[in-house]
């Protein structure tokens, strides 16, 4: 009897193993996909041990920093702007590259809000004054590296003439950068799991087959699912906004109507993507892989928790066309820059078209059983 039980366990184990390895989708998402992600991110982050920082130079007077740039930096012109690139070689800690751009005060503040710059260096009677969010660790690192360079023997003189003026303006703080990104990320995550996974799970449980047997219009099922998820996203975003306002005094500086339109366009875009990636999948393991394949790259690349301008220059063109990037950038522009209808028109149209195209394609390919 004991031998029979052991043999039974052995046979069941072999059967389960063979059933698993015969599913190429499960093997791909469980084994190969994590390897591909690690290779991609490894190439993006570890090709060179180099840190890149972006600094805005404001003012017409020559400071000690300007004097050093004329000696050690390489000057170029791009899109009507003067850019100074200063590279410092360090075999132990890795190389550092500073990119200094001359600007007026208002455009410099906008660059800070968008995450395009880390620090503003302005002149005050020929003295370099550093403006940055004191709670931003990246900005603090830029200040410490620059002030160290200005005091090093290689910089000709130990001037010691630096000053810090913390920037606590609304829209410049890290929390002002983070909250709009979290709203956009919440839209994507909620729809990917609330729409895509729900469809895949119901298909795997044969529930869609029962539903299609009823006098139900197929498109109405997907539209109802979309409406419920959008309603939930509105509630979730309002709760996040309320606590952000209550605790951090986050305020919307732009047009509320434009924010609503952009928010709905983002929901439409990710609903279309969600319907498309779940239109034929019947296994939850495969569906989870597809959802993560959509979410993970955008979560890392689209500038939700940190600025995507930290990525290599060659990747920015691709990053900016990602739907999550367009949604997060648009919401930030309304929150922090006072953007209105004209500023969100292009991303709203692009997101809506993407959603409609993906939704129609998903409906044509949709498998109910």
Burial class (CB in 10 A: 0-12, 13-18, 19+), 160: exposed
Q: What is the pLDDT of residue 15?
A: 72
∠ at Cα 42 (40, 47), nearest 5°?
110
Query: CA 176, CA 298: separation in Å to the nearest integer?
Result: 20
Helix orientation angle between 284-301 and 256-277, rounded to the nearest 10 degrees: 140
Q: What is the pLDDT of residue 160?
A: 46
Radius of gyration of the chain, Cα coordinates, nearest whole angstrom: 26
Average pLDDT, the chain: 80
Of the two residues 260 and 121, the one the predictor is more confident about is 260
Q: What is the pLDDT of residue 154?
A: 40
Looking at the chain, how many residues does it have? 369
Q: What is the pLDDT of residue 328?
A: 93
Q: What is the pLDDT of residues 75-84, one digit of tens each?
A: 877 766 778 8
Average pLDDT over residues 107-127: 79
Q: What is the pLDDT of residues 292-323, one digit of tens each?
A: 888 888 888 888 888 888 777 778 888 889 99
329, 302, 173, 184: which is closest to 250 by C-alpha? 173
Q: What is the pLDDT of residue 162?
A: 54
Using the predicted structure, report yes or no on whether residue 224 has a pLDDT greater than 80.
yes
Q: Which of 47-56, 127-136, 183-192, 220-229 has the highest mean pLDDT?
A: 183-192
Using the predicted structure, report yes or no on whether residue 234 has a pLDDT greater than 80.
yes
Query: CA 252, CA 242: separation in Å to the nearest integer?
Result: 12
Query: CA 181, CA 200: separation in Å to the nearest integer?
Result: 28
Q: What is the pLDDT of residue 89?
A: 79
- pTM beyond 0.95, yes or no: no
Band of residue 28 on the pLDDT scale cut at 50, 70, 90: low
Using the predicted structure, report yes or no on whether residue 17 has a pLDDT greater than 90.
no
Per the CB < 8 A criterion, the answer to whether 241 and 250 are in contact is yes
Q: What is the pLDDT of residues 123-164, one digit of tens each?
A: 766 677 888 887 777 888 888 888 777 764 444 344 444 577
**Domains along the chain with CATH numbers:** 50-166 (3.40.190), 174-365 (no CATH)
Q: What is the pLDDT of residues 316-346, one digit of tens each?
A: 888 889 999 999 999 999 998 888 899 899 9
Of the two residues 252 and 126, the one the predictor is more confident about is 252
Q: What is the pLDDT of residue 294?
A: 86
128: enclosing H helix or E strand: strand 127-132
Q: What is the pLDDT of residue 31?
A: 63
193, 160, 156, 150: which is closest to 292 by C-alpha? 193
Q: What is the pLDDT of residues 253-289, one digit of tens each?
A: 889 999 999 999 999 999 999 999 988 887 887 788 8
The percent of the chain in helix, strand and coil, each rounded to the nearest 5, is: 65, 15, 20
């Amino acid at each position: 009897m004991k031998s029979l039980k052991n043999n039974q366990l052995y046979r069941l184990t072999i059967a389960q193993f063979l059933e698993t390895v015969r599913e190429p989708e499960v093997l791909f998402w469980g084994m190969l996909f994590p390897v591909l992600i690690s290779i991609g991110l490894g190439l993006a982050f570890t090709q060179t041990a180099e840190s890149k920082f972006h600094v805005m130079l404001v003012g017409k007077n020559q400071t000690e920093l300007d004097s050093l740039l004329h000696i050690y930096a390489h000057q170029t012109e791009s899109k009507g702007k003067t850019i100074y690139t200063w590279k410092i070689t360090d075999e132990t800690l890795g190389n550092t590259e500073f990119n200094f751009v001359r600007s007026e005060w208002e455009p410099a503040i906008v660059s800070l809000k968008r995450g395009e710059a880390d620090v503003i260096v302005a002149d005050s009677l020929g003295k370099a004054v550093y403006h940055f969010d004191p709670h931003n660790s990246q900005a603090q690192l830029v200040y410490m590296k620059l002030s160290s360079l200005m005091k090093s023997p290689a910089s000709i003189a130990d001037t010691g003439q630096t000053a810090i003026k913390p920037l606590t303006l609304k829209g410049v703080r890290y929390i002002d950068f983070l909250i709009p990104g979290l709203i956009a990320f919440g839209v994507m995550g909620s729809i990917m799991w609330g729409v895509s996974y729900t469809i895949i799970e119901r298909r795997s449980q044969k529930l869609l087959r029962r539903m299609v047997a009823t006098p139900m219009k197929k498109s109405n099922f997907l539209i109802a699912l979309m409406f419920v998820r959008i309603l939930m996203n509105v509630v979730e975003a309002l709760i996040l906004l309320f606590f952000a306002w209550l605790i951090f005094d986050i305020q919307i500086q732009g047009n509320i109507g434009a924010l609503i339109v952009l928010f709905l366009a983002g929901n439409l875009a990710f609903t279309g993507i969600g319907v498309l990636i779940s239109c034929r999948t019947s296994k939850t393991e495969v569906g989870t892989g597809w959802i993560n394949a959509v979410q993970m790259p955008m979560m890392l690349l689209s500038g939700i928790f940190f600025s995507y301008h930290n990525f290599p220059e060659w990747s920015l063109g691709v990053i900016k066309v990602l739907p999550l990037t367009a949604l997060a950038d648009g919401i930030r522009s309304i929150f922090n820059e006072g953007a209105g209808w004209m500023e969100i028109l292009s991303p709203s149209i692009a997101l809506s078209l993407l959603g409609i195209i993906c939704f129609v394609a998903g409906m044509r390919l949709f498998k109910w059983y």
